[in-house]
Amino acid sequence: MSVHIDSNVTIEQAFQDFIASYPQYKATEMLDDIRAKDFKRLDNNGHTYLDFVGANIYPESLIREHQDFLLKDVYGNPHSANPTSSLATKHCDHARNYVKEYFNDADDDYDVVFTLNASGALKLIGEAYPFCPESTYVLLVDNHNSVNGIREFARCKNTNFKYAPVKDKTLQIDEEALEQILSDGQGKNKLFAYPAQSNFSGVKHSLDWIHKAQKNGWDVLLDAAAYVPTNQLDLSKHKPEFVSISFYKIFGYPTGIGCLLVKKSILSKMERPWFAGGTIELASVRGDGHFFAEDEEGYEDGTINFLNIPAVEMGLKFIKSIGIDNIQTRITSLADWVLKEILPLKHDNGVNLIELYGTEDLNNRGATLTFNICDQTGKTIFYEDVEEGANKLVISLRAGCFCNPGLSEIVGKFTEDVMRPVFECGEKVSYNEFVNSKKSDYVVGAIRASFGYVSNFKDAYTLVEFIKSYLNK
Ligand SMILES: Cc1ncc(COP(=O)(O)O)c(C=O)c1O
């Protein structure tokens, strides 16, 4: 059953209709209690927060728990035998083990390397993966720039890189093309990188590609940064060689910590280009040599974020206490309802209001809705203008290209003929100059609304009402 809002329908009535269509939402009411207790600042300040892919927001209780931890004892720089150092090491190791438990590394296949963020994890892979002229780097066209950037490490080592396509309309993997690319790939050290969930469109890409690629001799890099905040990644079922994650995207606090989950079995093949304090077993100035430390230690440059790492365990436990299934039920109900409300909207002259990017099917996409709003003539309203309208109503949306140029170019129909000259003309062009020079002829960028664990019906309703305010404009 679909639910309809019109201006005569109050939010209370709309909510009753919503519940009738999504009765499973009722089972997630504990999240309303959590919002009232742990996220008061959202409603106290009149926020409609719809940028959960950008960053999650933290519960008050997590800040208090972490503060209590910090105030309770003295924690020294880890990896020494003194009491305060040992204490810090103990808590960091505990958090490290909990990360493995959270992602169900039941077979103890993985090491957890703490990094600054997902990009830090991706950079570690790029610089240490043994690219050579005989290797290939294949990456999906739908990737965050921090995965795209690995191609520059490949290029430096004369490694070929190739983009695997997605389908123009649904933005899902072009399965036939990818099968072909993976079975054609020759040589040694072949790396295939893709996101479990697109940060642009919210489309989920099947985790079955991990095994399919591995069967063809590929090492797999799964960028899980946009996936794990609302989905359970089970490393006992899916075993990519590398997984990149940012913790603030899962529970909001602290920023500045991510991790690389790396299969132990691939570590011996990696070639770190430098060493730093904390990463070596032995290094010598006179002997001009170094031996790397084993396991994750060889990848954690300098002092780890030892005061904040224990909060990672607290945050993951908070998510576990809610349950990923409850989070899924809540956000999928809200996103599906919004989609059903906005997709049929038309101006009085019959022109569609919304252009949605990616599949409409919530089984294959997360609760991330990326779209543009069209005026009565069918022209796309520039994303910055929509964002400005939302800002005035204290609605936090994200607008632009979301660091995902591959999908931006598909959506905006930017061809190679248009893009290559921008980089070959010999003059540096800023993002704003580029956008301003193209926005009258192309669709540059989009609007992204993403739901998270504390989203509620009011957020969804406010978004729909905001979008409807563009009718007949
Ligand atoms: C899919 C994906 N990968 C990588 C990143 C980079 O994350 P960070 O900026 O935390 O390094 C993001 C950030 O939005 C993302 O959504």
- 107 with 179, same domain: the answer is yes
- 161 with 277, same domain: the answer is yes
- 285 with 350, same domain: the answer is no
Contact criterion met (CB below 8 Å) for 99 and 310: no
C-beta pairs of 172-176 under 8 Å, 24+ apart in sequence? 172/203, 172/205, 172/358, 172/359, 172/364, 173/140, 173/205, 173/206, 173/209
Structural domain range at position 353:
11-59+323-401+445-468
Name the nearest CA neighbour of 218 among 267, 183, 270, 166.
Answer: 183
How many A from CA of 233 to the centre of ligand 1? 16
**pLDDT number for residue 9:** 81
Contact criterion met (CB below 8 Å) for 227 and 207: no
DSSP class of residue 173 equals B
**H or E element: which one contains 220?**
strand 218-223
What distances in angstroms separate CA 56 from CA 59, 86, 196, one per listed residue?
10, 32, 18
pLDDT in tens, 312-336: 999 999 999 999 999 999 999 999 9
Q: Quote the tokens at residue 470.
A: 């563009």
Q: In what order do the strands lie in the sheet with 160-164?
A: 110-115, 258-263, 242-246, 218-223, 190-195, 136-140, 160-164
CA–CA separation, 420 and 417 (whole Å): 6
Pick the residue whose CA is nearest to atom 2 on ligand 1. Answer: 225
Task: Specify if 410 maps to a domain.
Answer: no
Q: Which residues contact 164 (CB under 8 A, 6 or more apart)?
A: 138, 139, 140, 141, 173, 174, 177, 178, 181, 194
Check if 156 is active-site: no
**Does residue 459 have its Cβ closer than 6 Å to ligand 1?**
no
Q: Which residues contact 301 (CB under 8 A, 6 or more apart)?
A: 276, 277, 278, 279
**H or E element: which one contains 214?**
helix 208-215
Beta bridge partner(s), residue 371: 356, 447
Q: Give per-residue burial for 152-172: e unless 16+ CB within 10 Å, then b.
A: ebbeeeebbbebbbbeeebbb
Task: Specify if 421 maps to a domain.
Answer: no
CA–CA separation, 206 and 194 (whole Å): 10
How many A from CA of 226 to the centre of ligand 1? 7
Q: What atom in ligand 1 is closest to the CA of residue 118?
A: 11
Q: Is 193 helix (H, G, I), strand (E, B) or coil?
A: strand
- 335 with 353, same domain: the answer is yes
How many A from CA of 144 to the centre of ligand 1? 6
Task: Specify if 372 maps to a domain.
Answer: yes
Q: Is 166 helix (H, G, I), strand (E, B) or coil?
A: strand
Mutate-to-test residue for ligand 1 from 221, 222, 223, highest number of ligand atoms within 8 A of CB: 223
- Picking from 320, 349, 373, the residue at the C-terminal end of a domain is 320
How many A from CA of 137 to the centre of ligand 1? 20
**Does residue 260 have its Cβ closer than 6 Å to ligand 1?**
no
- 84 with 129, same domain: the answer is yes
Name the nearest CA neighbour of 270 among 244, 243, 292.
Answer: 292
- 17 with 114, same domain: the answer is no
Instruction: Tell me the CATH number at 459.
Output: 3.90.1150.10
**Does residue 225 have its Cβ closer than 6 Å to ligand 1?**
yes
**Does residue 311 have its Cβ closer than 6 Å to ligand 1?**
no
Task: Specify if 168 maps to a domain.
Answer: yes
For 5-26, give the DSSP string: --TTS-HHHHHHHHHHH-GGGG
Catalytic residue, from 92, 156, 403, 425: name it.
403
How many A from CA of 398 to the centre of ligand 1? 14
Task: Specify if 408 maps to a domain.
Answer: no
**pLDDT number for residue 187:** 87
**Does residue 226 have its Cβ closer than 6 Å to ligand 1?**
yes
How many A from CA of 230 to the centre of ligand 1? 14
Beta bridge partner(s), residue 400: 446
Q: Give per-residue burial for 459-471: e unless 16+ CB within 10 Å, then b.
A: bbbbbbbbbeebe
**Does residue 239 have its Cβ closer than 6 Å to ligand 1?**
no
Its pTM stands at 0.97
Per the structure, how many domains does the chain have? 2
Query: Strand 280-284 to strand 258-263: parallel, antiparallel, or no bridges (unpaired)?
Result: unpaired
**Does residue 117 have its Cβ closer than 6 Å to ligand 1?**
yes
Mutate-to-test residue for ligand 1 from 114, 146, 248, highest number of ligand atoms within 8 A of CB: 146
**pLDDT number for residue 8:** 64
DSSP class of residue 445 equals -
CA 330 to chain centroid:
19
Contact criterion met (CB below 8 Å) for 191 and 138: yes
- 347 with 275, same domain: the answer is no
Query: Strand 110-115 to strand 398-400: parallel, antiparallel, or no bridges (unpaired)?
Result: unpaired
Q: Is 142 helix (H, G, I), strand (E, B) or coil?
A: coil
- 315 with 332, same domain: the answer is no
**pLDDT number for residue 12:** 96
How many A from CA of 300 to the centre of ligand 1? 19
Q: Quote the tokens at residue 21.
A: 């269509």
Contact criterion met (CB below 8 Å) for 454 and 57: yes
Mutate-to-test residue for ligand 1 from 403, 407, 448, 450, highest number of ligand atoms within 8 A of CB: 403
What residue ranges of the chain have pLDDT lower than 70? 1-8
**Does residue 139 have its Cβ closer than 6 Å to ligand 1?**
no
Cis peptide before 240 (omega within 30 of 0): no
How many A from CA of 119 to the centre of ligand 1? 6
Task: Specify if 96 maps to a domain.
Answer: yes
Task: Specify if 426 maps to a domain.
Answer: no
**Does residue 143 have its Cβ closer than 6 Å to ligand 1?**
no
Q: What atom in ligand 1 is closest to the CA of residue 143?
A: 1
- Residue 236 dihedral angles phi and psi, to the nearest 5°: -85, -20
- Picking from 283, 303, 320, the residue at the C-terminal end of a domain is 320
Task: Specify if 287 maps to a domain.
Answer: yes
